[in-house]
Each structure stands twice: as C-alpha cells, then as structure tokens.
Amino acid sequence: MSKMSGNLSLDELYVAANLFCLRNWGVPFTGNIELIKRRWAVYMALYVAERKTIRMSSPTNNELGFVRVIDNLHHELVHWRLHMTGQPYDDCDYEFIAECVRVGASLSGAKNAKRAMIRWPQIRAFEERTGRRYEETVAA
C-alpha cells in the first residue's frame, strides 16, 4: 500500500480501529470488519448492527484514498461504540452527532443527518442553559 492509497488491508484496518478505540474510549475494538470486493456506488462504509460489523469496499476505498478511508472507519466506529454501550447510534441521533464531534469523526452526508446537525448546536445550548434534556422537555 502506498502512503496515499486507500487500499488498506484488513489487518491495517483492525490496527487503525484498535488505536482509535483505545485513544477515545479506552477499549479495544471487538467488532468485525469486512472488506467487500465489489465497488459501491452509494456507500463509503456501513455499520451492520446485527452483526456488529463494519463493512467497507476495497475498490471504493482505493478510489477514496487513505485519509477518507480512515475518516470513514472512525465514523463507523462511533456507530459501533454507541451501539455497544446501548446509546442511540443512528446518523441523525444527537448522541451520535455529539460523539462524532467529540472524537473528530466525520458526519454523514444524508439529508436527515444534515438536518439533525443543524439543530444539534441549538439543542445543546438549550440543555446547557436549562440543565434539562431537550427530548424530555418536548415530550412533556
């Protein structure tokens, strides 16, 4: 693998995942990573919760380059960690957005996730100002 290539081996992805998890959460990565051999047109990476698996496409990774592949891996690791700790882990969940911001992982480009990201600072400011969870206040 050249330094700028996104064509990382499975072993290299596991090493990167473990380093990220240990640095940010103090735990090793205990999930799975799968490399698919066909190019993906829509996804760059995907977390499959039922299997606790991060899936990536080798051809797509190669096109994206090293930095974007690692960034995608970090994003999927946030899904994994929140799922493993019983917290909301979808792209548009505020807990997910907050954790991505905290650890420096990228956010999804999906429309719902973009809308949630726009509202997240407002909700965070409300919670800090009032000491109450936004969802609890809205539901009441």
Distance CA 56, CA 69 (A): 9
How far is 74 from 96, CA to CA, in rounded Å? Answer: 12
For residue 130 the two structure tokens come to 């009032």
pTM of the model: 0.81
Q: What is the gyration radius of the CA atoms in the chain, in angstroms? A: 16
Per-residue pLDDT tens digits for 5-52? 778 999 999 999 999 999 999 999 999 999 999 887 777 899 999 999
* Closest C-alpha to 81, from 135, 134, 17: 17
Sign of CA dihedral 100, 103, 104, 106: negative
pLDDT digits (tens, 9 = 90+) for 106-124: 887 667 766 766 776 766 7
Phi, psi of 76 (to 5 degrees): -70, -30
Is residue 1 helix, strand or coil? coil
32: helix, coil or strand? strand
Q: Which domains does the chain possess? A: 10-139 (3.30.2010)
